[in-house]
Amino acid sequence: MAIPTATKPANLPARIQHYIGGTHVDSLDGDTFDVLDPVSNQPYLKAASGKPADIDAAVAAAKEAFETGPWPQMQNRERSRILNQIADVVETRGEELAAMECYDTGLPITQALGQARRAAENFRFFADLIVAQHDDAFKVPGRQANYVNRKPIGVAGLITPWNTPFMLESWKLAPALATGNTLVLKPAEFTPLSASLWPGIFEEAGVPAGVVNIVHGYGEEGFAGDSLVKHPDVPLLSFTGESGTGKLIFANAAPWLKGLSMELGGKSPAIVFADADLDAAIDATVFGVFSLNGERCTAGSRILVERSIYDEFVERYSAQADRVIVGLPEDPATEVGAIVHPEHYEKVMSYVEIGKQEARLTAGGGRPEEFPEGNFVRPTVFADVAPDARIFQDEIFGPVVAISPFDTDEEALELANNTKYGLAAYIWTNDLRRSHNFAQNVEAGMVWLNSNNVRDLRTPFGGVKASGLGHEGGYRSIDFYTDQQAVHINLGEVHNPVFGKAE
């Protein structure tokens, strides 16, 4: 059997450098790391491996651009124009971008194209938002007026994960830039390729040098991520990644009392009641965990099903999962591509084996026969999963789902809330009262009723419990990336309480 290989996209660079102060540079110590493509697991390029000295240089460039550059002082309309130009370039280069993302991450090409479109939308959204930006004023007639003076904070540190990397980077870059900050981005080390396109995009759109700086490399102590977190000239950090990493960053940022936004892991429930539209619920819950290769923070990876429809649901769901097309990421017919990296593939496969001990395997359970190499997993379904099972509790972050039955609404809620996470929840029922009651009580930052994960960019995004800290999205992002100074004006006589008045 022929070993499958992915087609290299056009313009694939041979190496990736940092981008500091408008210049492409190697690490100061010359160190690099290998980047693998997930179909062959062969290294296809070397990327610069950032260390504290590279972060120092990037932060210094961003600080200078903040203190001397035009960016923070620019009229909102002018920044908005540049953000729209970034969106234009991203749209124009969408196919090139998606081809690179697909090659580097193993995401199916159709889904990578969707993520590129979403990245452009993020810039357009914040371009519109800052033009419409207004701030509060508070009047005390005849005595006082107070208003809010909103200001960019300074150098923002942005740390991003490897799942949908380009789109997730745009989700932080757009609001950080819209509000007049300068920044240092540290992309995930598994997937630096699409981030290497940002400098060209920003230059074409007219972003001044030094406003955006990118340092590639690892996250751990002694490397780029950790030194960005601990840099004294970086007052705020927006992080997306695992809950464990989030906790560490929280502790490491504490001595400086930095502003933190944490978008962390999830193990989100999809709850299907017997009165739901079963066809729609099955379609949505299959897509909800197997799209983006299951490497999706809001994946509905635990499905709770009312007992009276449980057997039918499990049978139909497993049959549909079996029909999901696993294939080369570049093939437009592919629905599940290759897992991002061999290390993560091993983790997902280890959970498939754990699941076989803990529950009833009803679909998938291993590698597809036609892919003897590469990080391919068949969509895997486990039924009758007990709440204390590891596949019920742990975030697997791959195409693996756990299905469990429930008898009553109370039991469904108890099961839904029975993990340390609280990112999203999906509720399927046609009973209006039940759906809203459930939504009010489920421990999740975001809830969808009879819907897939379709997000309006104006809504708050964030998780509760171990899934995150703070909310971004819409005006919450503007709040996170700005200081809100209160200015108080006396409009009347000065009536100070007087201490120590002269005789």
Q: Which stretch binds ligand NAD (CB under 6 A): 41-49, 57-65, 101-109, 259-267?
A: 259-267
Per rule CB under 6 A, is residue 219 in the interface with ligand NAD?
yes
Query: For ligand NAD, which residue of 186, 367, 378, 476 counts as binding (CB under 6 A)?
Result: 186
259-263 and 32-36 strand pairing: unpaired
Query: For ligand NAD, which residue of 41, 52, 203, 218 counts as binding (CB under 6 A)?
Result: 218
> Which amino acid does the sequence have at 494?
V
Q: Which stretch binds ligand NAD (CB under 6 A): 78-86, 224-232, 302-310, 490-498?
A: 224-232
Per rule CB under 6 A, is residue 473 in the interface with ligand NAD?
no
Which pairs with CB-CB distance under 8 Å and at least 24 residues apart come from 251-260?
Answer: 252/226, 253/229, 256/230, 256/232, 258/234, 259/153, 259/235, 259/480, 260/236, 260/469, 260/470
204 is an active site residue:
no
Per rule CB under 6 A, is residue 163 in the interface with ligand NAD?
yes
In sequence order, which ranges of 222-298 are alpha helices (DSSP H)? 224-229, 243-253, 278-290
Residues 239, 44: Cα–Cα separation, whole Å: 27
Which residue's Cβ lies closest to ligand NAD? 219
Query: Binding to ligand NAD (CB under 6 A): which residues in 404-443?
Result: 423
Q: How far is CA 142 from the centre of its chain?
A: 48
As given in the structure block, the two tokens for residue 212 are: 């955006």
Query: Binding to ligand NAD (CB under 6 A): which residues in 54-113?
Result: none
Per rule CB under 6 A, is residue 256 in the interface with ligand NAD?
no
- Give the binding-site size for ligand NAD (rule: CB under 6 A): 31
Shortest Cβ distance from residue 303 to ligand NAD (Å)? 18
Catalytic residue among 102, 297, 395, 472: 297
Q: What is the residue whose two structure tokens read 């899934």?
A: 467
Residues 233, 421: Cα–Cα separation, whole Å: 32
Query: For ligand NAD, which residue of 106, 199, 225, 364 counts as binding (CB under 6 A)?
Result: 225
Neighbours of 7 (CB within 10 A): 13
Residues 85, 207: Cα–Cα separation, whole Å: 10
Shortest Cβ distance from residue 108 to ligand NAD (Å)? 17
The region that residue 361 occupies, defined by phi over 0 for left and psi between -120 and 50 for alpha, beta otherwise, is beta
Per rule CB under 6 A, is residue 448 in the interface with ligand NAD?
no
212-214 and 182-186 strand pairing: parallel
Catalytic residue among 189, 263, 295, 358: 263
Indicate the DSSP class of residue 315.
H
Per rule CB under 6 A, is residue 184 in the interface with ligand NAD?
no
Per rule CB under 6 A, is residue 245 in the interface with ligand NAD?
yes
Q: Which stretch binds ligand NAD (CB under 6 A): 13-21, 48-56, 155-163, 176-184?
A: 155-163
102 is an active site residue:
no
In sequence order, which ranges of 362-497 are alpha helices (DSSP H)? 390-393, 409-416, 432-441, 475-480
| Binding residues for ligand NAD (CB under 6 A) | 159-163, 168, 186, 188-189, 218-220, 225-226, 229, 240-242, 245, 248-249, 263-266, 297, 395, 397, 423, 463, 468
Catalytic residue annotation: 263, 297
